Structure 1
Amino acid sequence: MIKGWVPFQISPFALGSLSLLFFWIGSVSCYGERPEVHVSPVPLRLPVDHANDIRFSHISTAEGLSQIRVMNMVQDDAGFMWFGTLYGLNRFDGYTFKVFLHERGNPNSLSGVDVESLFKDRDGVLWIGCEQAVDRFDPKTENFTHFPVPKVKQISQDRDGFLWFSTDRGLYQLDQKTGRLRLYAHDPNDPDSLPDNHVVSAAEDKAGRFWVGEPYGMYELDRKNGHVKLSIPLHTASRDLSFYEDRLGEFWILYGTGNGLAKFDREKNILTYYSFHGGDISSTGYSGVASMLEDRHGTLWLAKQESGLMRFDRDHNRFVNYTHTPGNAYGLAQDSVTALLEDRDGSIWVSLPGNGLQRFSPVPLPFQALSSKEGEHGAGCFYEDSHGNLWIGTSVALYRIDPSGNRTEFAGVNVGTPLDVLSIVEDHTGFIWAGTSNNGLFRLDPKNGKWTRYQHKENDPSSLSNNVVYRLLVDHDGTLWAATWDGLDRFDAQADRFTTFKADSHSREQICRRGFRRGRSTSAEIGGPASV
């Protein structure tokens, strides 16, 4: 029963005709006894497998981010990425950041420094919760309009367009049409009111039911009279508690203690806890789930507060865990993750409390590590031979991958002999030739793995002209040509010697530095620094 509307004092900096009203609920209950929620006695423990098939990119203060502790993220309708930090609001256009801060004496600036919440409404308007007020951003003027609700933990919007602000002083509802605020708060004289004023989250589900998260549980709220219709208790208090509804209609409850994940069956009123390890589900350790995201492929991602990023594999009913690995520049930067966001391109952004931002593609690239040899730094070239085999040249070996995916490694002539392969070609007899960076020219017999090495000899004009071999070509007659740092070499297989061609016999000009190819008949097209 509504007893009346009581005016609420507005802070001096609030704008215009905004009125704030306290929504006071009478002591008469409309519901009597609430439905009972049943808790499954045994947590659902699923296997957790570890993986490293995601490549993360990293953005931090070196790229212009104002502060490394990013608490929340959103993408606006123009495509800009917005990040709320402990020091200002950051707008990112994909290249550079623009930071919005509170400016003393400027009433149109951000109301505070610490951005505690960030939300884009259905009209594309950006709302920012700071320590002093909630701000509405005007992208045309880049001015902020202030609403006197401080320290908003979360912002949401229901199907009627009302905005909801979760605070430690209760739950506020903003009617944007009238500018009127309503406060839903605990009434000690009403057992059906909210049990606590410390509201950490509030949102409407897809069925139109409204849920409020408080430290000791999730509550379904009747917005007409402020009464709690259903209580979902937690084992222990949690400073973070929210829900996430996926496309299958599953209602997930996220909280910041213990394992941090439960699923609620809204038809049967059954709550099932999930377990990631053997720890107690009622543990008060701050190690739960901070955020959940379902990407466009239907995959669920969980931001864990102490154990990294998790992916729910529905097909195999398991979780896949991605954690920080020291020394891995493309891995997760730390094991504490606070928020997740999928942008319009399908990339997923990860906010970290002490390392800024990371971004990754949720669809792993179809590549596997070729080798983990020490000193091997990527591939120098690729080549497909007449049998459909893929050849890959690296700093220490040649690799052959056949059409079935089987891999064969061909190491150097001697153990420890570097290759640094720059070019590969197959001749008409089936030999594989590899030109290298300052290590000469190698010939490999792939049938027996035998190597033959050709190098430059200072006083032998029939030797390789230089040990840097950029390009290789086999012409229509089966003759091998090698473009080196000091000329173009033709190899005579019968005499096992080279003939060198230069634009100027006294010059070291690289007449084929850019490459060459076979012409239509017996001609060759050679790319050099001056002509083709």
Structure 2
Amino acid sequence: MKYIHVYALFLMSVFHTSCGQKQTEPHKDNINYNIKDTVTSYGPSTMVRNVKQDRNGNILIAASWGGVFRYDGKSFTNLTSRIGSRRYWDVLEDRRGNLWFASTDSGVYYYNGKSFQHFTTREGLANNLVMSIYEDKAGNIWFGGGGLSLYDGKSFRNFTTKDGFPNNGGRAIMEDKTGKLWIATGDGPCFYDGKTFTVLKNKDGKLFKNTWSIIEDKKGSIWFGDVNGLWRYDGSTFAKVSQRGAYAVIEDKKGNIWTTGSVNPNNVGAWALSRYDHKSLYNKKPTVTEILSGPPAFLGLLEASDGSIWFGSGSGVYRYDGKTITDFKSKEGMK
């Protein structure tokens, strides 16, 4: 029960949304363009939900209340200094090089490097609670959180329970090799084939609970993490790979699977960064190495282009280069 209660702290209120399209004209915010971007030597010290990398190799960091930061290898620039404090959850660079910032309290901000546009329910967004941003192969931008929205550059289309979409939706989004869109929801993983939403159920016919992450590996299998552990789906059957919780899941260039999450359901205060060896992934008991244990909680994951592993935590961002873990919060942590 304690385990469920801890995960419940992560859950956000979800509101009923309506389906349809609405032409979008972003409203004007009181954004102070006279304020310069804040540049510091150290990273954020607040909770970091997601870490991404842009086309130039910079690291993008979404820190709740701290801002969205860009790290160029030398310094951290707060890209949201002009907007002010928000509960930032995710960040995306689209194919045109523009940035999108998701927040769970004020919708989405679009930044072209010079000016901002703000998208909320006023412009057609399903909900101002946004936890994930994803660009599909066609260039559409998807937003998940308190609902699911598709933005084609001109208007929004929202998906609701009337369309078969689960109530608790949108913690993570990805498109697989066949073009299906997968969404991690509070009711488990589901996919959208362009017409219908299908919510996956386990072998007992029950829904999964509190799914936070979902990826496709090189073999085409779907991996996802929920409060009960790490799972793999081959298109017809499920395999429970580990009892370790998986808040975030990634596959690295070598084929190893990395996760962050609680170590086991009975020890909710113990979090870990874990690596599952690619040679044993499909064994009954894959080889897992615990790289770092917590608290704090470990959250979003990224393999950077140089092979280093970046991960968010309840108190900042870390980098693991295969030997050393750097926490970036202080001069001592960066040694």
- Asked if Structure 1 and Structure 2 have the same fold, meaning a TM-score greater than 0.5 normalized by the shorter chain, the answer is yes
Q: Which of 159, 164, 167 is residue 100 of structure 2 equivalent to?
A: 164
Partner of 2:198: 272
Tell me if 1:364 matches 2:280: yes
Change (3 A) 1:4 1:271: closer
Give, in angstroms, the shift of residue 166 of structure 1. 0.9
Indicate if the aligned counterparts of 1:253 and 1:261 stay in contact, CA closer than 8 A.
yes
Report deviation, 1:250.
Answer: 2.1
Give 1:55-454 correspondences, 5 Å limit: 107-130=40-63, 131-139=65-73, 141-148=74-81, 150-168=86-104, 169-176=106-113, 178=114, 180-187=115-122, 193-215=124-146, 217-224=147-154, 227-233=155-161, 237-238=167-168, 240-255=170-185, 257-258=186-187, 260-266=188-194, 269-278=195-204, 281=207, 287-303=209-225, 305-314=226-235, 317-324=236-243, 334=244, 336-353=245-262, 354-364=270-280
Confirm or deny: 8 A CA contact 1:117 1:152 kept in the other structure. Answer: no
Q: Distance in 2 between matches of 1:158 and 1:254?
A: 21
Offset at 1:5? Answer: 6.2
Deviation of 1:298 after TM superposition, in Å, equals 2.8
- Distance in 2 (alpha carbons) for counterparts of 1:365 and 1:321: 11
Assess if the C-alpha contact under 8 Å between 2:29 and 2:118 holds in 1.
Answer: no
Amino acid aligned to 2:196: I
Checking the alignment, whether the CA contact within 8 Å between 1:219 and 1:232 is kept in structure 2 is no
Name the CA shift for 1:4/1:247 in 2 (closer, same or farther; >3 Å).
closer
Q: Relative contact order (C-alpha < 8 Å, sep 6+): which is higher? A: 2
Give the root-mean-square deviation of aligned CA atoms.
Answer: 3.1
TM-superposed CA distance for 1:236, in Å, is 5.3
Q: CA deviation at 1:368?
A: 9.3
Letter in 1 for 2:175: E
The question of whether the paired residues in 2 share the 8 Å contact of 1:157 and 1:203 is answered with no
Residues 113-166 of structure 1, C-alpha deviations (whole Å, 9 max, x = no match): 321221111221101111221111120x24434423532211122221111111
Following the alignment from structure 1 to structure 2, what is the Cα–Cα distance between the partners of residues 352 and 11? Answer: 39
Q: Hey, what's the Cα distance between the residues in 1 that align with 2:282 and 2:107? A: 49
CA distance in 2, matches of 1:366, 1:186: 44
- 1:9 aligned residue (6, 17, 31): 31
Q: Secondary structure at the match of 2:101?
A: strand
Judge conservation of contact 2:125–2:158 (CA < 8 Å) in 1: no
Q: Which amino acid aligns with 1:115?
A: V
Alpha-carbon distance between aligned partners in 2 of 1:264 and 1:165, rounded to the nearest angstrom = 24
Give the SS at the match of 1:288.
coil
One-letter amino acid matched to 1:306: V
Separation in 2, partners of 1:237, 1:368:
34
Question: 1:210 offset after TM fit, Å?
Answer: 2.1
Q: Which amino acid aligns with 1:251?
A: L
CA contact (8 A) 2:67 2:78 kept: no
- Mapped to 1, the partners of 2:76 and 2:148 lie a distance apart of 36
Paired residue total? 249
CA-to-aligned-CA distance 1:435-460 (integer Å, 9 cap, x gap): xxxxxxxxxxxxxxxxxxxxxxxxxx
CA distance in 2, matches of 1:368, 1:146: 45
Asked if 1 retains the 8 angstrom alpha-carbon contact of 2:254 and 2:278, the reply is no
* Structure 1 residues 366 and 15: CA distance shift in structure 2, 3 A: closer
Decide whether aligned partners of structure 1 residues 167 and 361 sit closer, same or farther in structure 2, where only a CA change above 3 A counts.
same
Secondary structure of the corresponding residue to residue 363 of structure 1? helix
Distance 2:116 2:252 in 1: 32
Residue aligned with 2:88, SS: coil
Amino acid across the alignment from 1:294: E
Corresponding letter in the other structure for 2:255: G
Of the two, which has the highest radius of gyration?
Answer: 1
Q: Deviations over 1:27-66 (max 9, x none)?
A: xxxxxxxxxxxxxxxxxxxxxxxxxxxxxxxxxxxxxxxx
Q: In 1, Cα distance between the equivalents of 2:80 and 2:182? A: 31
C-alpha distance 107-277 of structure 1, shift in aligned 2 (>3 A): same
Unaligned residue ranges in structure 2 (runs of 5+):
1-22, 263-269, 286-335
- C-alpha displacement of 1:194: 1.6
Q: Which residue of 2 aligns with 1:496?
A: none
**Offset at 1:7?**
4.8
Tell me if structure 1 keeps the 8 A contact 2:52–2:59.
Answer: yes
- CA distance in 1: counterparts of 2:281 and 2:189, whole angstroms: 29
Match of 1:358, SS state, is strand
Q: Distance in 1 between matches of 2:253 and 2:275?
A: 13
Gaps of 5+ in 1: 17-105, 325-333, 370-532
1:293 and 1:302 in contact (8 A); partners too: yes
Distance in 1 separating the partners of 2:223 and 2:167: 24
Q: CA deviation at 1:4?
A: 7.7
Matched residues in 2 for 1:9 and 1:366: separation? 51
Q: Distance in 1 between matches of 2:281 and 2:183?
A: 31
Maintained 8 Å contact 2:131/2:171: yes
